[in-house]
Structures are given as structure tokens and as C-alpha cells.
Structure 1
Amino acid sequence: MAVFVLDKQKRPLMPCTEKRARLLLERGRAVVVRLAPFTIRLKDRIGGAVQPLRLKLDPGSRVTGLALVRESEICDPDTGVVERLEHGLWFGELAHRGQAIREALETRRHYRRARRARKTRYRAPRFLNRTRRAGWLPPSLQHRLDTTLNWVQRLRRLAPITALSQELVRFDTQALQNPEISGVEYQRGELAGYEVREYLLEKWHRTCAYCGATNVPLEIEHIVPRSNGGSDRVSNLTLACRDCNQRKGHRPIEDFLQRQPALLHKIQAQAKAPLKDAAAVNATRWALLNALKTTGLPVETGSGGRTKFNRTRLNLPKTHALDAACVGAVDQVRDWNRPVLSIRATGRGVYSRTRTFNNGFPRGYLMRQKRVHGFQTGDWVRAEVPKGKKAGVHVGRVAVRQTGSFNIQAQAGTVQGISYRHCRLLQRADGYGYSFQLKPEMEAARRAA
């Protein structure tokens, strides 16, 4: 993984290799600024030549892929076509905590309802005079927007980023509903098949609409046959296994399912309905696009169908980080086989100083201070235990206790009962937990095994 480099005045320079960073640190020419992402600062250099870098984003409901690439252009000597070449420098996967925020708000709502339902003093209801500002998003969705923008700004402070790329929409629904639209490039190329197939796989849950078969090859099937005037719009398409597709043939669906009226009604209703959660996801991505435009950098957008087309054409493994590298116009991707920094949003704790039973009454009390012996929950520490059952070196996120016996959440698992005397601070808590994933082909092999 590339190492981020800052000059003497903390301005970003071009990332360097791990070997070069190790030599700079050994010779005393640089100091470590951060461990995740690993960043060094030069002591004897101000400014320097930089190359164009692009930060690419693949927003997701739970994980957002991040890819920092260096762009260049190469000319094919045979055809004379100029291709866009990308060199992968740094990859990350940002895991959001939107579900945890939603559950916390749900718990708070139950507490408030319980307080109002008790036989205590009367509390008059508030008037419905509360309004929401323009562009308001639910807290769980606003969290995804804020954390993504936070990491965009962080990486801009660590690397000379000159452009941004974002997967704006999962599918170009306008072009799918109107395949005759002119001026759309991928409607005349290979991408049209990937866009339509991926949309149908998501919409029909990768099952046969007629028999419910899964884990079998599926074919695109016209609900109203083309011989009877059916169109190629996605509202007239579904998925079927080969046997069902052959048995239906050119018959109308009403004739084919005349003995199954419930299934007929379900298919007709689902064909007209859009994808679930499409409104929420699209609202977040459009808000992210508008926020990225305020950075002043050029922003490139692409659809999810094109991302999958690029990844399949380049024969890359399926990961969130590599999906981000395949966003937009991509001809070749090199140096993609790098470790991935897993970033998990953990928050900065809670304000409540007690835990509760299921009925909402308090159960025990928490510490009144955050730091214990100079450490606080979320710090990245290194514990060297000389002897005992837990002897060894443990590196990870610490959870403090008032007694001074801490828990360390290492990559191999949680180690309990580590004394603060054996801990050394590596990086202060910043609301995120960090770990390194295996290389994509090693991770794919492990999952297959």
C-alpha cells in the first residue's frame, strides 16, 4: 500500500512506496504522522512535483468503496486509440453505522413514549409547528453522507487529489425505460446488456419469476411477448429459467398462468414497481454529488451497470474497493492487487451514564470520565505482555475500564484483561476502527475454501 507523504509545511506530496518510506524514517529525514492511513512528514523538503490523482467512490448502503488512483494515457500502436490507464495507489472500505443510529433513535423514541405514558404530571402535547429544512435527510442517511465527505476531505489533506469520480446511480432508469433514446453511448454497445441484466437480477432477487428456482442460469423473458407487441422496457422484462421460458414461449402471461392467479397478480405488480429503497439511496447519492461539487474539483459520474461492466471486462475480483476503481470511464487498471484498509465507523461514545433494563429503568452506572491512565476507548494501542497466559504483542483498539484492566480488540480477536502498564499509545481515537484486509485474490481464495 502506498504511503502518504507531507512536506515540512504539512502540504501533500505524491505518495511513495513502503520501502522508500522505511528508508526515510531510518535516515531521520521523516517522522510518522498517522498510522491509519499511514502518513509520514518530511523534515527537509518544501513542495515538489505532483501528478494527477483521482479519488473514486462507490457509495453503498452499508459500505463505501474508496480508491485513490494515478491517471495516465497510453496510445495503442496498432489502432492509434488513446486509452485511459489507472495505477492503484491506495484502497479503502468505509463501513457505516447507519443501522446502529437507527436502533439508537428507536430506543430513544420508546423511552420518550414511556415517560409520557406514566402516571406522572400532565405534559401537554406540542403543536405540529416543527418543519424540516430543505434537503433534510434521516440521521442514518445523513451519517453516510457526513462520513464519506469526511474521508474525502481527509484524503485531500494527505494526497494532491485533482479529480473525483462517483457512482451516481445504481441504474440509469431513464435509459432502461426508454431504450430508443438517442445519444446514449452504452445503449449501442456491450454495456446495455450488463445494465439490463444487473437491474433485473436485483429487482427479481435472482430467482425465476414463474417457478422460484434459484442458483440456476436465468434468462431474460418478455412478460408480453414481442410477437404480440411487447417492448424491451424493463417494466416488461423478468427473469425465468430455461424450462419456464421454453414452456411459456409466445403465449400471453394470462394464458400461461391461468391456473395461478395469485402468481399472475404478483408478477404484474412487481414488474411495475421500482427497486426497494431506491428513493433513499438515490437521495443520498445526489446529496453526495452536490457536496462533492462544492470542493471545486471536477466530478465524474457513472452508473452501477457500467461499474460491473468494467470490472467484468478487466477480470477483477468483486470487492467494494475495486468496484470504486472501476467507476466511470476505465480502460485499464494496474497495481490493483494491494491490501485494503478497512475503516469502520464506531462513533465517539454516548452521553448516557447508565445502562437500562428492557423496561427502560436504569441498571448500573458508567464511568464519569472518558480517560483512564491516559487512555480512552477507541485508542489504537500496542500491548507487550512479558509473561502469563496472554504473553505476546497485541495491537488494536482498546476498551478502557476504571480498574486499569483493558480489553484490546485485535485483528485475531478480543484479548481481555490487559493491564494499562503494558499498553503504549499508537494513535488517538478519531471515531473509526481500522484493520487491514488480505489481498483480493487471497481473500477470494479464503472465502471459496
Structure 2
Amino acid sequence: MSNYVLVIDSNKQPLNPCHPSVARKLLKSKNAAIFRQYPFTIVLKKEILDVVIEPIEIKIDPGSQTTGIALVQGDKVIFGAELSHRGSTIKDSLESRRSLRRGRRSRKTRYRQARFLNRKKPSCWLAPSLQHRVDTTLTWIKKLIKFAPIVGISQELVRFDLQQLENPEISGVEYQQGELVGYEVREYLLNKWDRKCSYCSIENVPLQVEHIHPKAKGGTNRISNLCLACESCNLKKGTKDINVFLAKKPDVLKRILSQAKRPLKDAVAVNSTRWTLFNALKNTGLPITTGSGGKTKFNRTRLNLPKQHWIDAACVGIVDTLKVLTNKPLLIKATGHGTRQSCRTDKYGFPSRYVPRFKFIKGFQTGDIVKAVVTKGKKIGTYVGRVAVRSIGSFNISSPNGLIQGISYKNCTHIHKKDGYSYAT
């Protein structure tokens, strides 16, 4: 049950994706050729007339760390992918650069006069770690649009509707008493409190929504006054004030009170980028529908599907029935394109080693996925993996079986050129 294979015609126009067995037959009979390895796409060698194109909807479940992507044809999920972002890596790199520059300025421009802080950022500016999430998601949406007959996009516009969580009356009584009642709040609390009891930290037990300051003593239903508790702790606490209940556990009391006021970091990251991504998707010219995280979870629970990012994406929006035809999604990890530094530095900012100016050696670049067929010598065999180039033309290949060193460039052929991502299934 692998992903369906994407198909394009001889004019590079998208056709209906086909089952992997059909793609194997086309490749074996020489009626098609491999056009792209990731996502796996074949191109037909002959023009086909009178083809009935079945429309496909691409569904997205944006996340702070991982974004789920699914292609849905009617009620069938034919392709799934999970895109892992590198926002935390970008943030760490920027903080490191800032500290090094600050140290250098304090050493070399000690007596420079202060300049006016008159530099302004545009109103639509996002931090690089957040903008990266939008850019990588949009890149993959555009790739899939080129290789599949996409007619619409469905996006989970927000994981948690924070405005509705703080003020449930904002959408009227129908929102509170509909079939989604409690799903938004409960899903938010499960993520915020790490699916543990707030008082005893027990896991893998049924958890109940608990008022930190009891409602009987003036506590509200605001999300900042809610936590999760197991049945035992909930009964013990009852209507006691939390300061009385945790009088002998000051550390736990301090942690709960601070965590209750702290917003969920992942939810904030998603909410910061949701409209930027939505507006970027609108520029593709395709119709866009939206849904919330509570609706997604409700659909997935109703259809009895496992919790995975790409399955969450397939459940976004209005879903009546869903038939999953794949269980091997493409796992995509953003690795970046390297750095433009002329030399590497140590943790103190001093140069540690030289970096070659030219990145391409004999037509290969570090990060390319290659196939090496060695027919003589001590390393006879076939190796597939990422290549690390050397200026002398002797490369290293990182294969699933380990690192193979000293492979000549003459034995290597390209499978997939470096594009800033690593792939797995």
C-alpha cells in the first residue's frame, strides 16, 4: 500500500495518478520513463487522447514542526506526505550569529557612537523561522500541482481557535452546543499539558478537564483557568482552592500557575503563519476551503483512523467517508541548502577550517542522491545514497548500510539532485 505514482504526459501535463503496479508495467514495457524520484513521477513517452481526468483535492494540516499533506481523489486517499520543518534550527543559527556579532562589535567598535533605531520592518514581516514554514509548505504544494490534476486546496486554517477558546459566545449558542462541543478545548488542553495529569503527572489514563480555581469559588471557564487531571486527583481536589490543595507541593503549584498563563508555543507558531499561508495559497488561483483542528479530530475519530499528520490532513474540512489506499507516506525533512560562510568557525567565532569556493565537483554536489555501480576493486557492489564530494573526485556515499568511502565519480550517476530536503518512507 505505497503512495500512488504521479503521472504526466509527453507534454508534461498532469494525468491521473496510477497504482504502483501499473507504473511498474509501464516502465518495464518502455512506455514510460522516470521523470522525478521525489515525489516519484513517471512521464509517458506517447501522447494519449481522450483521457478522463479525475479531479484531486490537496489537503494540508499545517503544524509547528510537521505539516501533513494528502491527495484525495473523491473519497480515496491516494498520496500522503509529512513535511518536517527546520524552524528551530534556523532560530538557533540566528541566535548564534547574533551573539558572535555582538561580541565582535563590543571588541572592535567600542567607541562608535550609537545610531538611531529608525529601521522598520514591513507589516507582513514574519520571523525567518516562521516564514520558513510558509515557504516550504508552498514549495511542495506547487510541486504537487505540477504533477497531479489538482482542482482545489483544503487547509486547516487553525489548530486551535484561540479567540473562540477565550470567548466561546463569539459564534453563538450553535457553536457551543453543536456536535463539535468540547473538541477544540480538549484538544488544546491535551497538547498544552502534554497529555498528563497536571497534579500527579500520570500518563495513559483517562483525563478530565479541571478548573484550576474552582468554579464554585468564582473561577471562570477561560482556557487559562483549565487544566487536565486524572479522576483520582480531580476527586481529591473537589472545590478546594489550588493553594490549599497543593500547600505541601510548592514546586507543583508554581509549575501549574506559570504553565496556565503561558500560551501553547506550537499553537502560537501555527496561528502566526496561518493567514500568510492562506494568502499565499490563494495566489495559486485554486479555490480554497478551510477547517479547524477540532473538526479534523472529530472526522478522524468518527472514521476510526490512526493519529498521523498526513491522515489529519486527509480529514480536514467536510468529510463524509474516507478510504485510505496507502500506508507508506513520503517523509520529507527540510535540511537547507548549506551556508554561504567562507570558512567554518568554532563556538567562539574564530575560523576553524577552510570551505572550498566551488561546490560542484565533476558535476556532483554534496547532498545529491546517486547510484554507484563498482565493478572492480575492493568495493565491488551497488550503492545508493547521499554523496559527499571531494575535489580529487573520490566521493563518500551515505547508504542505508553505512558510509562507503573512496568511490570514484566515474561510477556515480544522479538519481535526485540536492534540493534542500531529505527523503524516507
Q: Same fold (TM over 0.5)?
A: yes
1:370 maps to 359
Answering whether residue 402 of structure 2 is matched by residue 409 of structure 1, we say no
* Aligned residue type for 1:290: N
Equivalence map 1:350-429=2 (5 Å): 350-386=339-375, 390-429=379-418
1:434 maps to 423
Relative distance call for 1:125 and 1:412 in structure 2 (3 A) is farther
CA distance in 1, matches of 2:110, 2:220: 65
Identity %: 57
Report how far residue 233 of structure 1 moved. 4.0
Relative distance call for 1:131 and 1:389 in structure 2 (3 A) is same
Answering whether residue 61 of structure 2 is matched by residue 61 of structure 1, we say no
For 1:191, what is the secondary structure of its paired residue? coil
Relative distance call for 1:398 and 1:171 in structure 2 (3 A) is same
* Aligned residue type for 1:88: V
Answering whether residue 198 of structure 2 is matched by residue 209 of structure 1, we say yes
Relative distance call for 1:205 and 1:355 in structure 2 (3 A) is same
Q: Deviations over 1:385-427 (max 9, x none)?
A: 3466654322122111123222223345443333323211122
Report how far residue 228 of structure 1 moved. 5.2
Q: Which runs of 5+ in 2 are unaligned?
A: none
Question: Which structure has more RCO (C-alpha within 8 Å, separation ≥ 6)?
Answer: 2
Report how far residue 46 of structure 1 moved. 5.7
Answering whether residue 94 of structure 2 is matched by residue 135 of structure 1, we say no
1:93 maps to 82
CA distance in 1, matches of 2:229, 2:95: 40
Answering whether residue 39 of structure 2 is matched by residue 37 of structure 1, we say yes
Relative distance call for 1:324 and 1:401 in structure 2 (3 A) is same
* Aligned residue type for 2:9: D
2:332 maps to 343
CA distance in 2, matches of 1:186, 1:390: 66
CA distance in 1, matches of 2:56, 2:345: 49
* Aligned residue type for 1:376: Q
Contact 2:64 2:266 in 1 (8 A): no
Contact 2:291 2:316 in 1 (8 A): yes
1:9 maps to 11
Answering whether residue 102 of structure 2 is matched by residue 102 of structure 1, we say no
Equivalence map 1:204-353=2 (5 Å): 204-227=193-216, 231-253=220-242, 255-257=244-246, 267-268=256-257, 270-353=259-342
CA distance in 1, matches of 2:403, 2:62: 30
Report how far residue 68 of structure 1 moved. 0.8
Relative distance call for 1:271 and 1:4 in structure 2 (3 A) is same
Relative distance call for 1:388 and 1:340 in structure 2 (3 A) is farther
Q: Deviations over 1:156-176 (max 9, x none)?
A: 111111111112211123333
CA distance in 2, matches of 1:109, 1:234: 36
Relative distance call for 1:410 and 1:331 in structure 2 (3 A) is farther
Relative distance call for 1:200 and 1:119 in structure 2 (3 A) is closer
Contact 2:81 2:330 in 1 (8 A): yes
Contact 2:368 2:417 in 1 (8 A): yes
CA distance in 2, matches of 1:344, 1:277: 18
1:50 maps to 53
CA distance in 1, matches of 2:411, 2:362: 12
Contact 1:58 1:327 in 2 (8 A): yes
CA distance in 1, matches of 2:239, 2:106: 61
1:148 maps to 137
Contact 2:373 2:381 in 1 (8 A): yes
Q: Which runs of 5+ in 1 are unaligned?
A: 72-85, 438-449
Report how far residue 371 of structure 1 moved. 1.4
RMSD: 2.7
Contact 1:397 1:433 in 2 (8 A): no
Q: Deviations over 1:311-339 (max 9, x none)?
A: 22222222221121122222222134332
Contact 1:168 1:285 in 2 (8 A): yes
CA distance in 1, matches of 2:422, 2:244: 57
CA distance in 2, matches of 1:125, 1:200: 46
Relative distance call for 1:312 and 1:418 in structure 2 (3 A) is farther
Report how far residue 153 of structure 1 moved. 0.8
CA distance in 1, matches of 2:262, 2:111: 46
Report how far residue 263 of structure 1 moved. 5.4
* Aligned residue type for 1:209: S
1:78 maps to none
